[in-house]
Amino acid sequence: MKVAVVGATGLVGSVMLKVLAEKNFPITEFIPVASDKSAGKKISFKGTEYTLHTMQQAIDKKPQVALFSAGGSVSLEWAPKFAEVGCYVIDNSSAWRMDETKKLVVPEVNAKVLTANDKIIANPNCSTIQMVLVLQPLHQKYKIKRVVVSTYQSVTGTGVKAVQQMENERNGIAGEMAYKYQIDKNAIPQIDIFMENGYTKEEMKMVLETKKIMGDDSINVTATCVRIPTTGGHSESVNIEFENDFDLQEVRSLLTNTSGIILKDDVANFEYPMPLFADGKDEVFVGRIRRDESQANSLNLWIVADNLRKGAATNTVQIAEYLLENGLIK
C-alpha cells in the first residue's frame, strides 16, 4: 500500500503519522509531502528517516491513498490531481465537505455511503465528528428534532501558532498572535470568520455537516463556538430535543454500546469527561447525562474528544481502513 500524507509536518499531519504507526496500517511505501520550501528535508516515521516530497513528486509515485491535512486551498488545487492517478484522497480541510458530489464521513455513523468511485472523501469538522457520533444512536431510537450546542474548543484546533501564543502569554513572552485577542485566561466567542447571518463559519459547519452526515435535513441545529485556553480536546454542551420520550438508563445503555464512545457519567464520584482525560485518546467521551427539566423529551449531555485524533487524524485513518477492509481499494 503506497500511502501519502500531505501536510506531514503540521500539527494534524504529525498526529496522522502517529495514528498510522499505532494502527500498524499496511504501508509498503510511505510518501510524506510538505510545502516546496520543506521538500528535501527529512522526517521520521516508525523509526525510519524519509525525505519530504513535493506535491508533484508524490503524484508521480501514484499512491493508492493520500491523507490530506494542508488547508482548503491546497486541497482544492491538488486533491483532484491525486484522484486523477487513481488515488483515494481523504481530506481533512473544509474544501470538499459541503460539495454535493463528495461524501462526508464519520465511519461509525455513515461509512456505508462510500463506494469505489469516491476518490475524494471529506473528513468532517472536529466538533461535528464528536457530536454526531453521540447523536446517531439517539436519533435512530428517539428521532431528534433539535440540537443546541455550545463548544469549548482547544487552541490546538487552530494550530501550532495558537499553542505558541498561549504558552508565550503564560510565560510573559511577546510573540506572534494567532488570535486577535489574548487567549490565556480568556474565552473568545469566535472561531473562524463571521458570516452574514451573524454566526461564525465554524458554527455553520456544525449545522450543515450534521445534517449531511446523518442524512436528515429535518434535524434543526444551532451552535455557539468558543475558543478557550486548553489543549487535549474540544468540549461540548449539547441539548437535544426528541420527537419521542426516552429513559435515561436506556440512553446510557445505547451510548455504552456504541463503537467509539466511552461513557464517563458518575457524578457521585465526580466522574465526567474533560480534555485532561481525552488527550491522546481516540474515543469520544460522554457524561453529565440528565433530563432537561424545562422542556419535554429533552436531554442535556457533555461531550469531549481529542480534536487532533478522533476530530481529525484518527477519523481520517479510519476512513482509509474502511476502504481497505471493504475491498474498495484494489
Q: What are the grid coordinates assigned to 58, written together?
A: 508524490
Dist. CA 103–CA 114, nearest whole Å: 7
The answer on 156 and 113 residing in a single domain is no
Please check whether residue 37 lies inside any domain of the structure.
yes
Is 87 an annotated catalytic residue? Answer: no
CA contacts within 13 A on the Cβ side of 263: 15
Query: Of the listed 53, 87, 126, 225, which one is catalytic?
Result: 126
Domain that holds residue 160: 127-307
The answer on 140 and 93 residing in a single domain is no
Per-residue pLDDT at 40? 85
**Full-model pTM:** 0.95
Look at residue 91 and give its three-state secondary structure: strand
Give me the helix-helix angle, 11-22 and 314-325, nearest 10°: 40
Query: Of the listed 87, 139, 225, 234, which one is catalytic?
Result: 234
Per-residue pLDDT at 262? 98
Per-residue pLDDT at 78? 97
Mind listing the pLDDT tens digit of every residue in the chain (330 residues)? 999 999 999 999 999 999 999 999 999 999 999 888 888 899 999 999 999 999 999 999 999 999 999 989 999 999 999 999 999 999 999 999 999 999 999 999 999 999 999 999 999 999 999 999 999 999 999 999 999 999 999 999 999 999 999 999 999 999 999 999 999 999 999 999 999 999 999 999 999 999 999 999 999 999 999 999 999 999 999 999 999 999 999 999 999 999 999 999 999 999 999 999 999 999 999 999 999 999 999 999 999 999 999 999 999 999 999 999 999 987
* Of 266, 259, 269, the residue nearest 310 (C-alpha): 259
Look at residue 252 and give its three-state secondary structure: helix
Q: What are the grid coordinates assigned to 16, written together?
A: 496522522
CATH number at residue 20: 3.40.50.720
The answer on 142 and 238 residing in a single domain is yes
Per-residue pLDDT at 134? 98
Per-residue pLDDT at 83? 97
CATH number at residue 223: 3.30.360.10
* Of 316, 166, 310, the residue nearest 227 (C-alpha): 166
- Number of H helices and number of E strands within the chain? 10, 14
Residue 223 contacts residue 190 (beta carbons within 8 Å): no
